[in-house]
């Protein structure tokens, strides 16, 4: 009976889909767009989409809408991803000498300061979700934006220090963070919190006299205890550590890369290459990186998690700079091109320049949605391809 129920449920969902969702589904079934718009155009369109996501957030507060859904429209603002979007907008604004992105970044920062808990942490989930409690991972992601914006005003720097101090003080002696997990993911230790360490490494560049780098390296060292000889990382998913998303693997890899960039320690470069090489083995000749992978780097999903693809591409580009390995450069360019060929560069403003959770759009990650962090990481990967990030 279970297969029949699934079939009936799928049929009913298809029947109820809005016309825009059906059109996107049909387009993805036809395959990638024939023309790659290139890094410059992709960056411009994704930036413009993020601007619209800020303006159209359901909560109208200066934050960025979590997503645009083909089913029910714009979502409320999402503190976590608004935080690290700030860093991308500042990088884009400075590389393009564009005041618009700096103005938008300030609006995001002002909103984030308004919702920071007195002790320094930030909530998980969308701003409207409950329970509203401070969460390690979300605070670490917002810290990335606070560190990027610290030079824009003393109050942003002060908020950065409070967030970073809260993370240091809540860290366990072995380097793991266990006291403030998100209520919106499965319980348990999370290796991808190396991306929290990335926030502390960035804070260290602003306040080098504090203990931020020491705390960050302690956590990365803890995370690497679970790295297998083939680069596989245990406990590296929101919900399924046996078949993790490339999104969370991308978080983990980027944090390890940052440990090398911050400290110059060759141990971290070697560890990053192990995981990066495992991901290389999963990349197909057409640029497809499966959205979930198992411990032998085999596909565990039939869709691409576009967020994860862009995250991994950025890390490959950073590793290419460090090692001069051409295979990293080729893989990153191929993957970036794949993602760019999923992006509409004309059409309705809600979807033009947006990056889907999954390709095809009805895949299990961010189903029917255009995610703000997918656009952010796609911008980052393309800025890195151009040597600007």
User: What torsion, rounded to 10 degrees, do the Cα atoms 245, 240, 53, 123 define?
Assistant: -130
Assess if residue 134 is contained within a domain. yes
Q: How far apart are alpha carbons 44 and 350 in whole angstroms? A: 15
Which DSSP symbol is given to 69? E
Cα dihedral 194, 219, 260, 236 sign:
negative
Q: What share of the chain is helix, strand, coil (3-state, %, to 5)?
A: 60, 5, 35
Global pTM reads 0.96
**pLDDT score for 2:** 56
Tally of structural domains, the chain: 1
Q: Are 63 and 113 in contact (CB under 8 A)?
A: no
Cβ density class 121-151: b for 16+ within 10 Å, e for less: bbbbbbbeeeeeebbbbbbbbbbbbbbbbbe
Give the residues across from 73 on adjacent strands.
69
**pLDDT score for 15:** 79
**pLDDT score for 96:** 80
Assess if residue 28 is contained within a domain. no
Query: Given the DSSP bridges, would you call strands 369-371 and 67-69 parallel, antiparallel or unpaired?
Result: antiparallel
Assess if residue 7 is contained within a domain. no
Assess if residue 139 is contained within a domain. yes
**pLDDT score for 98:** 83
H or E segment at 359?
strand 358-359
Q: How far apart are alpha carbons 377 and 89 in whole angstroms? A: 11
Q: In which residue ranges of the chain is pLDDT below 70?
A: 1-12
Assess if residue 252 is contained within a domain. yes
Cα angle 108, 332, 51; round to 5: 20
Assess if residue 114 is contained within a domain. yes
CATH code for the domain in which residue 335 is found: 1.50.10.10
**pLDDT score for 4:** 57
The domain containing residue 363 runs over which residues?
Answer: 35-385
**pLDDT score for 95:** 79
Assess if residue 141 is contained within a domain. yes
The radius of gyration computed from the CA coordinates of the chain, to the nearest angstrom, equals: 20
**pLDDT score for 1:** 53
| 3-state SS class at 184 | coil
User: What torsion, rounded to 10 degrees, do the Cα atoms 364, 187, 218, 159 define?
Assistant: 80
Write the pLDDT tens digit of every residue in 191-231.
999 999 999 999 999 999 999 999 999 999 999 999 999 99
Cβ density class 329-361: b for 16+ within 10 Å, e for less: bebbbbbbbbbbbbbbeeeeebbbbbbbbbbbb
Assess if residue 17 is contained within a domain. no
């Amino acid at each position: 009976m279970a297969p029949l129920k699934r079939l009936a449920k799928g049929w009913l969902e298809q029947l109820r889909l809005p016309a825009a969702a059906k059109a996107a589904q049909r387009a993805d079934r036809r395959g990638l767009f024939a023309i790659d718009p290139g890094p410059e155009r992709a960056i411009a369109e994704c930036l413009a989409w993020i601007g619209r996501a800020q303006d159209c957030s359901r909560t109208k507060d200066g934050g960025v809408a979590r997503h645009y859904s083909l089913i029910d429209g714009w979502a409320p603002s999402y503190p976590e991803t608004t935080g690290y979007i700030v860093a991308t907008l500042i990088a884009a604004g400075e590389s393009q000498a564009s005041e618009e992105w700096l103005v938008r970044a300030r609006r995001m920062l002002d909103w984030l300061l308004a919702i920071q808990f007195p002790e320094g942490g930030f909530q998980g989930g969308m701003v409207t979700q409950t329970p509203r409690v401070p969460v390690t991972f979300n605070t670490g992601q917002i810290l990335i934006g606070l560190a990027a914006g610290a030079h824009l005003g003393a109050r942003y720097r002060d908020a950065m220090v409070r967030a970073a101090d809260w993370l240091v003080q809540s860290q366990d002696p072995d380097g793991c963070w266990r006291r403030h997990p998100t209520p919106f993911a499965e319980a348990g230790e999370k290796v991808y919190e190396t991306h929290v360490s990335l926030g502390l490494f960035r804070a260290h560049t602003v306040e080098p006299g504090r203990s931020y780098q020491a705390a960050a390296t302690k956590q990365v060292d803890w995370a690497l205890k679970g790295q297998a000889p083939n680069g596989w990382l245990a406990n590296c998913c929101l919900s399924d550590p046996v078949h993790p998303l490339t999104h969370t693997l991308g978080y983990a890899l980027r944090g390890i890369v940052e440990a090398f960039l911050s400290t110059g320690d060759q141990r971290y470069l070697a560890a990053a290459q192990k995981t990066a090489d495992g991901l290389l083995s999963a990349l197909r000749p057409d640029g497809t990186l499966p959205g979930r992978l198992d411990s032998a780097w085999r596909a565990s999903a039939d869709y691409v998690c576009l967020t994860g693809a862009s995250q991994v591409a950025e890390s490959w580009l950073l590793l290419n700079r460090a090692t001069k390995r051409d295979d990293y450069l080729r893989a990153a360019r191929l993957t970036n091109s794949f993602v760019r060929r999923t992006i509409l560069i004309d059409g309705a403003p809600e979807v033009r320049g947006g990056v889907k959770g999954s390709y095809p759009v009805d895949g299990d990650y961010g189903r029917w949605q255009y995610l703000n962090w997918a656009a952010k990481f796609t911008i980052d990967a393309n800025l890195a391809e151009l040597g600007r990030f």
